[in-house]
């Protein structure tokens, strides 16, 4: 069967550590045939490092004309909307990095255009494809811990992404580029909290922006008032002395936790002891994307609507922090 031909728009850190290795795992079904990065050296580096038989293009329109079926968009957040619309208009399926856009109007346009053209629009909300997180959702949905009561998540690092994750990528900490910890981390974690506990009535958030001296939040604390009566707390920082990642889910019959011991994911039922939980295998984002294009499978865990869900939480967190009051989710 013919392989899916993919073009990469943006060839930075996430392409290096995730997209190319993941596509290489699917070599029988897909090939990376074109690359474009605003910085040609970045595309050259990826091509050379992975010995890709791919054409380096000089611009997006040139890449879209190389006969590719699909693109993966991994550029700074503020560029996503325009690159996605351009790709969909050229009849390409799109896997786009999170946050899918910078506001809900853009997200709605992208979803509507993909629908109109019958193209796949998938957002790389990574946790929806990560075995431990998928297992947590399964445990909650199956009633294993009873009625959901409370969910807490702490994610902290000691540096901003331009210092740690992608050295020199200053857009991560710039408002003009839609950077900041809300668009970078809340987009994952708030989406996860909502994915697990369902509809959220209100969010109240406190953002701190002054600690790193940038014009975007570097610390966030947000409270969630879920429609099912449960509550949640999300605590994010780029300025703690050391990195931390903790997650706790309380139900009427038990507790799920992650990050507290070497066991990773653990479950405690009633007043029993915490026991390790195996998370099992999960179909990854790239396999979903390729199979959605190739054989039209349904049930994609992260379609455009999931990206919009994540963005709605980001918008509510920012709005609440701005006005100093709880806000309803849009």
Ligand X SMILES: NC(=O)c1ccc[n+]([C@@H]2O[C@H](COP(=O)([O-])OP(=O)(O)OC[C@H]3O[C@@H](n4cnc5c(N)ncnc54)[C@H](O)[C@@H]3O)[C@@H](O)[C@H]2O)c1
Binding site for ligand X (CB under 6 A): 9-15, 36-39, 42, 74-77, 79, 97-98, 124, 126, 166, 169, 184
In terms of Cα–Cα distance, which of 276, 285, 283 is closest to 306? Answer: 285
Q: Which token pair is 142?
A: 């199956």
The set of residues, in sequence order, having a beta carbon less than 8 Å from that of 2 and lying 6+ positions away, is none
The set of residues, in sequence order, having a beta carbon less than 8 Å from that of 164 and lying 6+ positions away, is 157, 158
Nearest residue by C-beta to ligand X?
A: 12
Helix axes 131-141, 187-197, angle to 10 degrees: 30
Strands (DSSP E) contained in 44-120 are 55-56, 70-73, 93-97
Nearer to ligand X, 314 or 321 (CB): 314
Beta bridge partners of 275: 267
Beta bridge partners of 320: none
Nearer to ligand X, 101 or 327 (CB): 101
Provide the CB-side half-sphere exposure for 257 (13 A, CA).
Answer: 15
Least CB distance to ligand X at residue 82 (A): 8
Least CB distance to ligand X at residue 162 (A): 8
User: Would you give the DSSP letter of residue 79?
Assistant: G
Distance of CA 1 to the CA centre of its chain: 31
Least CB distance to ligand X at residue 171 (A): 6
Least CB distance to ligand X at residue 311 (A): 12
Nearer to ligand X, 216 or 327 (CB): 216
Nearer to ligand X, 17 or 227 (CB): 17
Least CB distance to ligand X at residue 74 (A): 4
Nearer to ligand X, 42 or 189 (CB): 42
Contact assessment for residue 211 and residue 180, using Cβ atoms and an 8 Å cutoff: no
Nearer to ligand X, 36 or 226 (CB): 36
Least CB distance to ligand X at residue 150 (A): 26
The helix (run of H) or strand (run of E) holding residue 145 is: none
Distance CA 53, CA 98 (A): 27
Q: Which token pair is 199?
A: 């509809």
Contact assessment for residue 90 and residue 116, using Cβ atoms and an 8 Å cutoff: no
Least CB distance to ligand X at residue 212 (A): 17
Nearer to ligand X, 40 or 198 (CB): 40
Least CB distance to ligand X at residue 71 (A): 11
Nearer to ligand X, 76 or 148 (CB): 76
């Amino acid at each position: 069967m013919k392989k899916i031909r993919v073009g990469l728009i943006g060839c930075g850190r996430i392409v290096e550590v995730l997209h190319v290795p993941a596509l290489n795992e699917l070599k029988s079904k897909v090939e990376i045939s074109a690359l474009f990065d605003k910085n040609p050296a970045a595309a050259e580096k990826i091509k050379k490092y992975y010995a890709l038989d791919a054409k380096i293009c000089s611009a997006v329109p040139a890449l879209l004309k190389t006969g590719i079926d699909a693109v993966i968009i991994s550029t700074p957040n503020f560029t996503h909307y325009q690159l996605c619309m351009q790709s969909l208009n050229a009849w390409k399926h799109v896997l786009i990095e999170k946050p899918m856009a910078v506001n809900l109007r853009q997200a709605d346009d992208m979803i509507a255009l993909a629908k109109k053209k019958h193209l796949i629009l998938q957002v790389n909300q990574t946790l929806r494809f990560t075995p431990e997180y998928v297992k947590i959702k399964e445990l909650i949905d199956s009633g294993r811990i009873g009625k959901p009561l409370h969910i807490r998540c702490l994610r902290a690092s000691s540096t901003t992404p331009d210092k740690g994750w992608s050295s020199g990528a200053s857009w991560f900490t710039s408002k003009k580029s839609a950077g900041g910890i809300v668009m970078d981390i809340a987009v994952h974690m708030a989406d996860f909290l909502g994915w697990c506990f369902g509809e959220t009535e209100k969010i109240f958030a406190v953002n701190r922006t002054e600690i790193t001296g940038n014009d975007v939040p570097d610390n966030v604390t947000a409270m969630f008032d879920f429609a099912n009566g449960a509550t949640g707390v999300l605590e994010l920082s780029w300025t703690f002395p050391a990195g931390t990642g903790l997650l706790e889910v309380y139900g009427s019959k038990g507790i799920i936790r992650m990050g507290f011991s070497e066991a990773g994911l653990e479950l405690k039922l009633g007043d029993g002891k915490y026991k390790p939980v195996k998370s099992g295998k999960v179909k990854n984002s790239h396999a979903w994307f390729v199979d959605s294009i190739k054989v039209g499978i349904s049930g994609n865990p992260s379609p455009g609507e999931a990206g919009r869900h994540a963005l709605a939480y980001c918008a509510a967190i920012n709005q609440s922090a701005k006005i100093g009051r709880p806000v309803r989710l849009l």
